[in-house]
Structure 1
Amino acid sequence: MIVIYHNPDSIESNKCIEILETSKHNHQVIKYYDKALDKEKLIKIINLLKISPLELIRTEEKLWIEKFKHLIIAGIEFSNDELIDIMISHPQLIERPIIINGERAVIGKPPKKIFDIL
């Protein structure tokens, strides 16, 4: 079963849903704004993606720029654990969509990246 962490307001996320539906793959849609990710789940996703927590953060998001970017510019470094806590507290900062198929995962930007794990 393919799992997609989805934000209905995201164009890329909606295109990935469309790909899954037209390719007739069984999938589960999780609207992560409605059902918050816990720390254990988020760590597992980061490990499946084989990226650092910072790479999963939407650093161009207004919230990141207003609340966190100035701290980095000032030389304050966040630990991976702190970055994960920030994403849990502010799920809008999580890059999307995230598509997981077994032990493989991708961020669906661009949406055709989904084919890498189908």
Structure 2
Amino acid sequence: MTTTIYHNPSCGTSRNTLQALREAGHDPQVVEYLKTPLDAAGIKALLAKLAARPRDFLRKRGTPYDDLGLDDPKWTDDQLIDFMAAHPILIERPIVVTSKGARLCRPLEKVNEII
């Protein structure tokens, strides 16, 4: 299985995670998800690999999270996924998928669980 990192090159944690993967001998597929956004089906598939719900991966800082009122519990998982598809910056990063599993690598050391 290919190692994949959902990456934002502007994020220090994401850059450091990519470097850690390469130092561990991985040649990951790098998905710059802000340039190549995931659609709702792609986000659902990624969340399934993470065994997580959308709210667990919503980024607040530097995003329209507050402006959209996403802290309101009225939003369903499907609605949150739609927001994430429309505003990819809402997806927390970096997310790494390997043959050993998937993790949000925040903090960076989480990548060690799956490499």
TM-score norm. by structure 1 comes to: 0.89
Please, which moves more after superposition, 44-53 or 58-67?
A: 58-67
CA contact (8 A) 2:54 2:77 kept: yes
Shift of 1:60: 3.9
Matches within 5 A, 1:55-94: 55-69=56-70, 72=72, 77-94=74-91
Cα RMSD of the aligned pairs, angstroms, is 1.5
Matched, 1:97 2:94: yes
Amino-acid identity (%):
29
State the alpha-carbon separation in 1 of the partners of residues 80 and 41 from structure 2: 13
Aligned length: 114
**Residue 13 of structure 2: aligned partner:** 12
Larger Rg: 1
Matched, 1:117 2:95: no
Of Structure 1 and Structure 2, the greater helix share is in: 1
Question: What 5-or-longer segments of structure 1 have no aligned partner?
Answer: none
Deviations 1:48-82 (A, max 9, x none): 11111111101344410122247x1xxx6111100
CA contact (8 A) 1:48 1:103 kept: no
State the alpha-carbon separation in 2 of the partners of residues 44 and 90 from structure 1: 17
The residue identity in structure 1 corresponding to 2:104 is I
Question: What 5-or-longer segments of structure 2 have no aligned partner?
Answer: none
TM-score norm. by structure 2 comes to: 0.91
Q: 4+ residue stretches of structure 1 with deviation over 4 A?
A: none
